[in-house]
Structure 1
C-alpha cells in the first residue's frame, strides 16, 4: 500500500511539475506568448523566421563551435517528395519543429528525433498558380499561443493547432490567379499575424496586412502604392497606383524601443520606367510602420524610379553601429541593387551606403538620397547592359549579423544583365513587365557566380570573401560558437569561421543544391542544426546564361530536410 501510494504521489508530482513550467513532457506544447517572442533571441528554440524581431539570424549557442564542428554528423532526415525550391527554415518550439514545403504543405516533427507528428496539405486544386512569381515556394511559419500560422499561394492565412494540425481558422486576403500570391513566413507581433502580398510582376498593388491571431479578422491593411491625395501619391501618374506593383513579399523586423515595424517593398509595375514618371513611392523602399495601425512613420527608397527590378524587400537587421566615431541605432540591409545600407532606425536617415557587388545603374548618394544613371534606362529601341542583374547582388536569401564580430554575412550573386523595352498593356493575371532581359556573367568575376562575404557593419567594408563557381542562394546562420552556417548550390552545408571565413567543416554531399535557410535549436541540452536541400526558386527559371551554365543546369533537385548534431 505504501509503495503504490508513493508511486501515485510521485506521478502526480511529475505531472504538476510539467504543468507548472518545469521540464515539459515530450508531448506537451509550451504556448508561444508575446513575452517569449520578445525574448526569442535567447530562447532554446527557433521561434520565428529569422529567430528574433531584429531578424539577426544569430543564436547564442556554443555547444557546436569552431573547435569541435568537425564532429558534426547527420542525426535524422526527411524527404519531402517535392521537386521545386525548398526555402523555409526549421522553426522550433521545445521539441516541436515546423517547416513548410513548396505548394504549401506544413510538416510537424519531433525536433530531436525526426518523428513525423502530423502533416497538413493546403488545398490548391482550385488554383492555376500561373501568377506565382519565381517558383511555388513557401518560406515558413509563425508561432503564437498554441497555433502555427502559414501564408499560402492562394492568398490565405491559415491557423492550425500546433499539436494536432487541425485548422483553427482560414482567412482569404485576395482572390487567387489575378496576380497576387503569398510565399513569405508570417510575423507575429502584439497578437497580430502580419503578412505581405506579392505580385509586382503582374501589376498587383502590394499591401501589408495585420490579422487578429485568434480570429483571423483584419486589423489593418497598408497599401504600399499610395492613392492620389495620400502622402507619396504625387510620385505616380494618374491612375497608375492601381497597377503599381510594390509587393511586400518578405518578412519584416520590429524595434521594441520605438515600437516600429520595418517592412520592405518590391519593384514597381510595369518594369519599363518611362511608362510611370516619378519616384514611384513606396516601391524599392523600407517602410517604418506603426504596428497598431499600419501608418507609415517614415521611409527610405533604395532605388528611385526603378526600371531594373531591384526591389527593396530584403530583410532589415537591427543592430547598433559606430560609424565614423558616432553611435547609431541602425538597420542594415544588403539590397538587390548591389549596395549595402545602414539606416538610422529612429528617423530613416541614411548613415552610409557601400557597394558589395558590381553596381552600375545605382551610382551613389546625393543629399541622403540614392542616385541612378539615366543613360542606363532601357527603352523599346534601346538595349542596355548593367550590373547587377535583376536577381540582385543579393536576392531573398537572408543575411545574418553576429554581435560578437560586428559583421554581416551576405550571400552574394555576381551577375549582370541586358535589358530592352517592349510594348505592354495591363491585363489582370498576365505579366506586366514591358522589358526583355538576359542574365549574364559579371565581367569582373570570371567563373564566379556567387560568394559569401563578411561586411563590417561599423564601416560597410568587406572583411573576408569566399568565392563560389556556382550561385550562392542559401541564407545565413551565425552562432555564439564562432560559426557561420550556409548551404552551397553544390549540395554541401558549410560552417565558416566567423572571423576569418575559413571553411571549418562541410557536410557530405547532400541530395540537392541548397537554397534553404539553416536554423539551430537546443533540445534536452543538445544543439542541432537543420537545413533544407532542394534546388529551385528564381535562378533556374529566370537565370538566363547563368541557368544555362552546365554546372548550374545540372544541379539536382528534390526536397530533403537534414538535421545535424555532434
Structure 2
C-alpha cells in the first residue's frame, strides 16, 4: 500500500484517529538523509545506536557527573507484556517511538509520556514456536515522515510517524519455518535495510534493502554463498542451503567510504563435523556496497564455528592509535570472548585481545583466528570450553566514548560443556546437532556478569564493575562523563565513564533490565529512557545461570522508565 496523495483522505484519517482516541504528533520534522548523516549531533535519538557509527554516545552535558544524583523519574509506561523488552526509545523532536515484544509499536510525546498512537502487528495466524530466544523486537528506523519496524513473521512495516497510519508492508520470507526478524532496521540513502534470523533452524540468512517509499526490494545479499559465488567452496556440497548465517542485529554505515558493515551469525547445524570448511560468511563482519549489497571484504571471527559464537555483534566505527599507528577502525566485542579492532577500509586485523575467558579460539596467525582442535565436540566427545554459546558478550550493544577512548562492554562470565548429537534437517525444526550446558566460569569468582571498560587504543581493560547477576543491558555514554546501563536486579546505573565509580542508581524498577538506554533533549532539557523487562536468551538457555535462585527469581513485566533532572 502506497502513501495517499489526497489531502482529503489524510484529513479524514486524522479525524477518525482522533475519534478513536489517537493523537496526531504536532510539529513532526521529517528525518532527511542530512539529518541521519548528522544524527550524532541531533537533539533526538534517530536510530538504533544513535548514529551510523553505532557509537551509542550522545554529546549531551545537561546530565553530568556533578548533578546526576538529582535524576528523577518523570514518566513511565507499562506495556502489559511479560517477555523480554530490548528496544531503545527512538526520538525525533518531541516524538518517541518504542516497540514491545510481539511487534507492538507505540508513539509518545517524549517529554511528557502522552500516548499519541499505537500499532499492533497482527500475529494471530503465526505460531511463533520457531522464533529463537524470545519474541522480542529491538526497535525502529526513521526516514522522511515514516517509521519502520521489522516483525516476527518477516514483514517490514512502514507507518506514518505523525499518525500511525500504515503506509506499506512487505513480507520477506515465510513465517513458521524457523525464521524471524527481531532487529531494528537501518536506513541508508532511502533504503530500509534489514536482516533475517534463523541460524538455529537451518535458514539461509540474508540482508536485504527495500525502497523506503514503496517497500520494493532493491537488492538481496545472502550471507551463505552458493557454490559458484566467492566463498562458496568453503562449504560441503549442498550445505549452503541450510547454512545458517542469520543477520539479526542492526548494521553500521561508514559515510566516508560508502560502506555498509553487517554482522553474520552462526553456521547450521552447530556441529561442525557435519560441514567441514571455513563456512563463509558465518561468524563474520561483511563490508558491502549499500547501493547493490555486493560484498567488498569480510573478516571471520570464528572459522568453522562449532560453539555458536555468532558474529552478529555490532561493529562500532572509531579512529584509534595502536602501537603508534593511526587506524580507521571498527571494533567489536565478539561472542567468542575476544575484542577485535579491524581496519574498516581493507578488513585487516589490527589487534584482538581477550575480554573474557576464551579457550576455543586460542590465538591468531597471520591475522586470522586459530581454534583449538581439542575443544571441538563430536558425537563421541564432550568438551568443556569458554565462553559458553551465550558468549563473552551477547547482543547487548557496547558504547564507545570519544572523550575517554573507551569501549564499554556488558560482559558474561560463563563456560559450557558441549557434545555432538545426530541431527537431520527438517524445515521448522531446530538444526543443532549438539547438546550443551551453561556453567559458571571457574576463572571468574565475582559473579555471572560485569561491566568493563576497554581502552580502544590498546585493547586492554581500563576498569571493571563486577555483578553477581548477569549484566544483559546495553550501554549509553554521554559528554556529561557518564555511562548508563540497566541491571538484572532492576536499576538504571550511572557510572563515571572514566573510573567506573557508581554515581547514581535509579529507584527499584519492576523488572530486571535487558533494555538499551537512549537519551534526548527537548526544549533544552535532557532525558534518559530505558526498558525494564527481563527475558531474552538468558532465562531460556542459561543452564546453571538460569537455575541460580537469584536469576530465576528476577521478576518479569515490561515497563518503560524516563528520567530527567
- TM-score category, normalised to shorter length: over 0.9
How far, CA to CA, are the matches of 1:26 and 1:54 in structure 2? 29
Could you tell me whether the CA contact under 8 Å between 2:57 and 2:476 is conserved in 1?
Answer: yes
How far, CA to CA, are the matches of 1:356 and 1:368 in structure 2? 18
Structure 2 segments unaligned to the other structure (5+ residues): 1-23
How far, CA to CA, are the matches of 1:123 and 1:293 in structure 2? 32
How far, CA to CA, are the matches of 1:384 and 1:474 in structure 2? 30
1:46-87 per-residue CA deviation (whole Å, 9 max, x = no partner) reads: 000000000000000000000000000000000000000000
Q: How does 1:330-341 map to 2 (within 5 A)?
A: 330-341=329-340
- Which residue is equivalent to 1:285? 284
- SS at 1:401 equivalent: strand
Could you tell me whether the CA contact under 8 Å between 2:446 and 2:466 is conserved in 1?
Answer: no
Q: TM-score with structure 1 length normalisation?
A: 0.95
Could you tell me whether the CA contact under 8 Å between 2:25 and 2:163 is conserved in 1?
Answer: no
1:232 CA displacement = 0.2
1:307-341 per-residue CA deviation (whole Å, 9 max, x = no partner) reads: 00001000000000000000000000000000000
1:444 CA displacement = 1.0
How far, CA to CA, are the matches of 1:217 and 1:364 in structure 2? 44
How far, CA to CA, are the matches of 1:34 and 1:126 in structure 2? 37
Could you tell me whether the CA contact under 8 Å between 2:413 and 2:447 is conserved in 1?
Answer: yes
1:150 CA displacement = 0.0
Q: TM-score with structure 2 length normalisation?
A: 0.96
1:137-163 per-residue CA deviation (whole Å, 9 max, x = no partner) reads: 000000000000000000000000001
- Which residue is equivalent to 1:242? 241
How far, CA to CA, are the matches of 1:129 and 1:164 in structure 2? 29
1:487-529 per-residue CA deviation (whole Å, 9 max, x = no partner) reads: 0001010000000000000001100000000000000110000
- Which residue is equivalent to 2:363? 364
Could you tell me whether the CA contact under 8 Å between 2:487 and 2:513 is conserved in 1?
Answer: yes
Q: How does 1:205-354 map to 2 (within 5 A)?
A: 205-354=204-353
Q: How does 1:373-452 map to 2 (within 5 A)?
A: 373-452=372-451
Q: How does 1:100-139 map to 2 (within 5 A)?
A: 100-139=99-138
How far, CA to CA, are the matches of 1:348 and 1:27 in structure 2? 45
Cα gap change, 1:117 to 1:148, in 2 (>3 Å): same
1:87-129 per-residue CA deviation (whole Å, 9 max, x = no partner) reads: 0000000000000000000010000000010000000011001
- SS at 1:234 equivalent: helix
Q: How does 1:82-93 map to 2 (within 5 A)?
A: 82-93=81-92
- Which residue is equivalent to 1:66? 65
- SS at 2:240 equivalent: helix
1:549 and 2:548 correspond: yes
- SS at 1:36 equivalent: helix
How far, CA to CA, are the matches of 1:249 and 1:61 in structure 2? 30
1:226 CA displacement = 0.3
1:461 CA displacement = 0.2
- Which residue is equivalent to 1:29? 28
Could you tell me whether the CA contact under 8 Å between 2:319 and 2:326 is conserved in 1?
Answer: yes
- SS at 1:97 equivalent: strand
- Which residue is equivalent to 2:14? none
How far, CA to CA, are the matches of 1:456 and 1:344 in structure 2? 17
1:26 CA displacement = 6.9
Aligned residues: 542
1:179 CA displacement = 1.5
- Which residue is equivalent to 2:485? 486
How far, CA to CA, are the matches of 2:346 and 2:69 in structure 1? 44
Could you tell me whether the CA contact under 8 Å between 2:378 and 2:421 is conserved in 1?
Answer: yes
Structure 1 segments unaligned to the other structure (5+ residues): 1-24
1:447 CA displacement = 4.6
- Which residue is equivalent to 1:3? none
